[in-house]
């Protein structure tokens, strides 16, 4: 069901057939995304199925959104992340979330709260997309949209902002609209093994 070969040959697809990804595969991808690494148990990322919004102005100019049967949104809340991290640390210290040791630990580990939360959105997205692509499904990451407008239109929960969208399904066999990265940089210039 999941093949590493599919990932080794992966490419972005921007034109899709109407076929949907099975619920089993989607369920596995969502569960793996949920298990993505998180810092201080902060879990600042949520995943929303926004497929029904694909014809809205804020996203329908994106080629991949036009035919994708599924649109998933990764939204992030630095505020929720800090709250969760504080609860986690308070549990560890047996103290309150506003405790000095809790604040000191957060300060030491979290250089920049927004960036810290966003990094985790990228990780969750990577886990999710890789599982779907390993199954033979395909998609396109979309970062080019107005995040403020999207967050309003989608009526996201308080303090969450839209970060990335994954438009996905199966490549249109006639025209998959794929734009493969030209890997001009050699693999040897990418990976440096231990001496």
Ligand X SMILES: Cc1cc2nc3c(=O)[nH]c(=O)nc-3n(C[C@H](O)[C@H](O)[C@H](O)COP(=O)(O)O)c2cc1C
Q: Is 178 exposed, middle or buried, given 0-12, 13-18 or 19+ CB atoms closer than 10 A? A: middle
Query: From the CB of 100, what's the least distance to ligand X, in Å?
Result: 38
**Choices 37-45, 50-58, 73-81, 136-144 (CB under 6 A): range interacting with ligand X:** 136-144
Taking the least distance from each CB to ligand X, the nearer of 184 and 194 is 184
86 sits near ligand X (criterion: CB under 6 A): no
Query: From the CB of 14, what's the least distance to ligand X, in Å?
Result: 6
Helices 78-93 and 113-134, axial angle in degrees (round to 10) = 100
151 sits near ligand X (criterion: CB under 6 A): no
181 sits near ligand X (criterion: CB under 6 A): yes
141 sits near ligand X (criterion: CB under 6 A): yes
Helix H or strand E segment including 46: strand 45-49
* Rounded Cα gap, residues 131 and 137, in angstroms: 9
92: Cβ contacts below 8 Å, ≥ 6 apart: none
Interface with ligand X by CB under 6 A: which residues? 11-12, 14, 62-64, 140-144, 179-181
């Amino acid at each position: 069901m999941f093949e590493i070969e599919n990932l080794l040959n992966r490419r972005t697809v921007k034109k899709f057939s109407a076929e949907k990804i099975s619920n089993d595969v989607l369920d596995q991808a969502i569960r793996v995304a949920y298990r993505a690494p998180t810092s201080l148990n902060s879990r600042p990322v949520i995943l929303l199925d926004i497929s029904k919004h694909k014809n809205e102005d804020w996203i329908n100019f994106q080629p991949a959104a036009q035919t994708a049967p599924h649109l998933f949104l990764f939204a992030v809340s630095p505020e929720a992340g800090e709250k969760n991290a504080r609860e986690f640390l308070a549990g560890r210290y047996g103290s309150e979330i506003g405790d000095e040791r809790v604040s000191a630990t957060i300060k030491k580990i979290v250089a920049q709260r927004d960036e810290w939360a966003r990094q985790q959105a990228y990780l969750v997205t990577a886990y999710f997309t890789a599982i779907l692509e390993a199954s033979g499904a395909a998609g396109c990451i979309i970062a080019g949209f107005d995040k403020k407008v999207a967050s309003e239109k989608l009526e996201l929960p308080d303090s969450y902002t839209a970060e990335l969208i994954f438009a996905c399904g199966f490549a249109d066999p006639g025209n998959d609209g794929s734009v493969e990265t030209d890997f001009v940089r050699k693999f040897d210039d990418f990976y440096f093994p231990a001496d």
